[in-house]
Amino acid sequence: MSNRLLVLIVVIVAFSALSVMALLDVGYLGIIEPHFKTWGAGQVLADLVIALTLVVIWMADDARAKGINPWPFVVVTLFAGSFGPLLYLAMRELKASAQAPAH
């Protein structure tokens, strides 16, 4: 297992734990709702949407170049944010390690 894949797994597990705690605390809509209450929170939401849109564009192009179907990761990104790109990067690492010549 590559160091990059190990780091991705740790980030996915930690982010999953944080996300589960947030969902248990306030629910899915409760995570989104505060972003519509103030201009500052709205700016953070807009920034996140812009950043993830750029990531989705990169991810789709990169996935096609690597022979990976990008759509499952795009859909996950639309509904679960950073989980889509994180899972894509993990899949990309797994595919790269499977294609690497054995030493």
What is the model's pLDDT at position 35?
94
Q: Residues with Cβ < 8 Å from 55, sequence gap 6 or more?
A: 77, 85
By CB atoms closer than 10 A (0-12, 13-18, 19+), residue 84 is: buried
What is the model's pLDDT at position 102?
65
Nearest to 76 by CA among 52, 94, 54, 93: 52
pLDDT of 103 strictly over 70? no
Query: Phi then psi for 64, rounded to 5 degrees?
Result: -60, -40
Domain boundaries, the chain: 3-99
Tokens of 8: 């991705």
Q: Residues with Cβ < 8 Å from 67, sequence gap 6 or more?
A: 95
pLDDT of 101 strictly over 80? no
User: pLDDT tens-digit profile of 61-100?
Assistant: 999 999 999 999 999 999 999 999 999 999 999 999 888 7
By CB atoms closer than 10 A (0-12, 13-18, 19+), residue 6 is: exposed
What is the model's pLDDT at position 99?
84
